[in-house]
């Protein structure tokens, strides 16, 4: 029976805020089933941290009129505290808000944790920011470290890195806001010279298919870029495959091992946010709410040849190891039917629903509670390994310096 207390962080300053709430509650359910004690930490859309057991209630987050929607009423919940994590590793406590009547530091052991479990998707949670806080505080945490998170979230740099590692990716062109504002027509002409229509426009650092648009002409591409550059500071354009299937695979580690493959099912030529989170059905065929990525209609195992499945699983492990990932990730691929070429589309270093639905059907099977237990073990093992690294030397270079 596990004894550690796990702080699960969810929400965040991200366009994937609501998706993260679902993943966070799924993770807490699995952690409790595994015997862990759970400390919920809800991060508002403004970036404020609130901790306390009452936050482990998915009903609080439903609809615009929920008790948490306004943010200011959080403190009215008994047992909920506004907190932050000190970057000073000697503190080892969650720091209460300066305006709190309870003082700066909590004396309540229920407001500390042995391991921190970020379930925040996208910006501030999956891009290295929160990982940097954990590193400074010197606490064990689940998932990728700062460098692998940075490469995992950035679709452009990811392509550059994976291409250098010999993994096939689609070409792309990237525009930042300043470049776009200086010369929209010039960038559109560059894209049209490089790729035939249709093309795909994507925000560089967002997930859940938010801001992703398939474009058939210049007008659609310009509109899609305008939208993408509102929700991200860079956008990329890549050629769109016209006859293809998507295949996904999860990786757990280190040591890295790949799950069974899946093929998502959706309408149209692009897997949308609604396809991922709103269109799924349960085993009885009814639509289910609050199930995150687990609600997506999918075929498991993917109906592909064994040789192709083996290749995708090998590429998934290579993608995971190339960025130095840890914990659980999902790697998404595009298979071009006319040529048989397999393109690595992206890696998700904090996948929706933690991809538990793939692991519970893999061999050897991992139930959700077993998956989160392994994630906590990896976090503790990695933290112990980091302790072996010497960070400073006792060399007084100033002792002989002249005044």
**Structural domain tally of the chain?**
3
| Whole-number pLDDT of residue 109 | 60
| Whole-number pLDDT of residue 93 | 83
211 confidence band (pLDDT: 50, 70, 90): confident
Task: Tell whether 232 and 247 lie within a shared domain.
Answer: no
DSSP letter, residue 105: B
Tokens at residue 71, please?
A: 């943010």
Tell whether the model's pLDDT for residue 246 goes beyond 50.
yes
| Whole-number pLDDT of residue 107 | 56
For residue 184, the domain's CATH number is 3.30.1490.20
In a domain, 152, yes or no: no
Q: How many residues does the chain have?
A: 403
| Whole-number pLDDT of residue 158 | 96
In a domain, 402, yes or no: no
What burial letters (b/e) apply to 2-24, b meaning 16+ CB within 10 Å?
A: bebbbbbbbbbbbbbbbbbbbbb
Identify the domain containing residue 84 by its residue range.
5-141
| Whole-number pLDDT of residue 400 | 67
97 compared with 193, residue with greater pLDDT: 193
pLDDT in tens, 368-387: 999 999 999 999 999 999 98
pLDDT in tens, 11-60: 999 888 999 999 999 999 999 999 999 999 999 988 999 999 999 999 88
**Separation of alpha carbons 319 and 311, rounded Å:** 12
In a domain, 157, yes or no: no
Q: DSSP secondary structure string, 249-292?
A: EEEEETTTEEEEEEEE--SSSS--HHHHHTS-B-TTS-B-SS-G
292 compared with 287, residue with greater pLDDT: 292
In a domain, 106, yes or no: yes
| Average pLDDT of the chain to the nearest whole number | 88
- Cα dihedral 293→269→338→344 (10° resolution): -40
Task: Tell whether 273 and 355 lie within a shared domain.
Answer: yes
| Whole-number pLDDT of residue 306 | 97
Q: Check if the beta carbon of residue 40 is closer than 8 Å to that of residue 24.
A: yes
For residue 329, the domain's CATH number is 3.30.470.20
Q: Determine which of 210-214, 223-227, 325-329 has the lowest per-residue pLDDT on average.
A: 210-214
Task: Tell whether 204 and 234 lie within a shared domain.
Answer: yes
What own/partner pairs with CB < 8 Å and gap ≥ 24 does 382-388 have? 382/140, 382/145, 382/326, 383/139, 383/140, 383/141
> What are the beta bridge partners of residue 9?
41, 118
Tokens at residue 46, please?
A: 């403004």
In a domain, 151, yes or no: no
- Cα dihedral 237→238→239→242 (10° resolution): -100
Helix (H) / strand (E) element for 191: namely helix 184-194
77 confidence band (pLDDT: 50, 70, 90): confident
Task: Tell whether 105 and 192 lie within a shared domain.
Answer: no
In this structure, is the dihedral angle defined by the CA atoms of residues 276, 348, 128 and 223, taken in order, positive or negative? negative
Residue 350 to residues 41, 78, 217, 268, 282: CA-CA distances in angstroms? 17, 31, 33, 26, 23
pLDDT in tens, 262-285: 999 876 555 444 444 444 434 344
Task: Tell whether 318 and 353 lie within a shared domain.
Answer: yes
**Separation of alpha carbons 62 and 25, rounded Å:** 13
Tell whether the model's pLDDT for residue 259 goes beyond 50.
yes
Task: Tell whether 126 and 28 lie within a shared domain.
Answer: yes
Can you point out the beta strands (E) in 110-254? 115-118, 173-176, 199-203, 213-215, 234-239, 244-253
Q: How far apart are the first and last CA of the chain?
A: 61
Tell whether the model's pLDDT for residue 136 goes beyond 70.
yes
In a domain, 92, yes or no: yes
Task: Tell whether 222 and 255 lie within a shared domain.
Answer: no
pLDDT in tens, 294-303: 656 889 999 9
In a domain, 401, yes or no: no
**Separation of alpha carbons 26 and 368, rounded Å:** 9
Q: What percent of the chain has pLDDT over 90?
A: 70
Tell whether the model's pLDDT for residue 403 goes beyond 90.
no
| Whole-number pLDDT of residue 293 | 57
Tokens at residue 365, please?
A: 């099977």
Task: Tell whether 253 and 221 lie within a shared domain.
Answer: no
pTM of the model: 0.88
pLDDT in tens, 175-210: 999 999 999 999 999 999 999 999 999 999 876 678
**Separation of alpha carbons 273 and 281, rounded Å:** 15
Task: Tell whether 26 and 127 lie within a shared domain.
Answer: yes
In a domain, 200, yes or no: yes
């Amino acid at each position: 029976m596990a004894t550690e207390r796990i702080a699960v962080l969810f929400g965040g300053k991200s366009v994937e805020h609501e998706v993260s709430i679902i993943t966070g509650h799924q993770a807490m359910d699995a952690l409790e089933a595994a015997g862990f004690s759970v400390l919920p930490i809800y991060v508002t859309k403004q970036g404020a941290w609130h901790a306390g057991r009452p936050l482990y209630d998915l009903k609080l987050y439903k609809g615009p009129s929920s008790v948490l929607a306004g943010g200011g009423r959080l403190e009215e919940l008994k047992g909920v505290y506004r907190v932050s994590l000190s970057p000073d590793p000697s503190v080892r406590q969650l720091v209460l808000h300066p305006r709190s009547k309870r003082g700066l530091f909590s004396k309540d052991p229920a407001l500390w944790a042995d391991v921190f479990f970020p379930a925040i998707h996208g910006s501030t949670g999956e891009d290295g920011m929160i990982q940097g806080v954990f590193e400074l505080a010197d606490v064990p945490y689940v998932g990728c470290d700062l460098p692998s998170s940075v490469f995992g979230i950035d679709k452009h740099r990811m392509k550059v890195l994976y291409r250098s590692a010999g993994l096939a990716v689609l070409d792309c062109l990237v525009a930042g806001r300043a470049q776009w504002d200086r010369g929209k027509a010039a960038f559109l002409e560059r894209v049209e010279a490089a790729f035939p229509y249709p093309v795909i426009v994507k925000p560089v650092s967002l997930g859940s298919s938010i801001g992703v648009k398939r474009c058939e002409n210049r007008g659609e591409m310009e509109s899609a870029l305008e939208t993408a550059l509102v929700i991200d500071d860079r956008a990329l354009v890549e050629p769109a495959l016209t006859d293809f299937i998507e295949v996904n695979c999860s990786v757990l580690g280190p040591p890295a091992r790949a799950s069974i493959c899946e093929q998502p099912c959706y309408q149209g030529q692009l897997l949308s946010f609604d396809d991922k989170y709103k269109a799924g059905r349960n085993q009885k065929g009814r639509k289910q709410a609050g199930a995150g990525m687990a609600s997506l209609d999918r075929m498991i195992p993917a109906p592909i040849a064994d040789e192709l499945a083996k290749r995708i699983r090998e590429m998934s492990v290579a993608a995971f190891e190339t960025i130095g990932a840890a914990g659980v990730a999902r790697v998404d691929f595009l298979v071009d039917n006319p040529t048989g070429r397999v393109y690595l589309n992206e890696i998700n270093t904090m996948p929706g629903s933690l991809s538990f639905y793939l692991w519970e059907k893999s061999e050897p099977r991992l139930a959700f509670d077993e998956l989160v237990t392994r994630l906590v073990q990896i976090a503790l093992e990695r933290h112990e390994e980091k302790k072996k690294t010497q960070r400073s030397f006792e060399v007084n270079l100033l002792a002989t310096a002249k005044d």
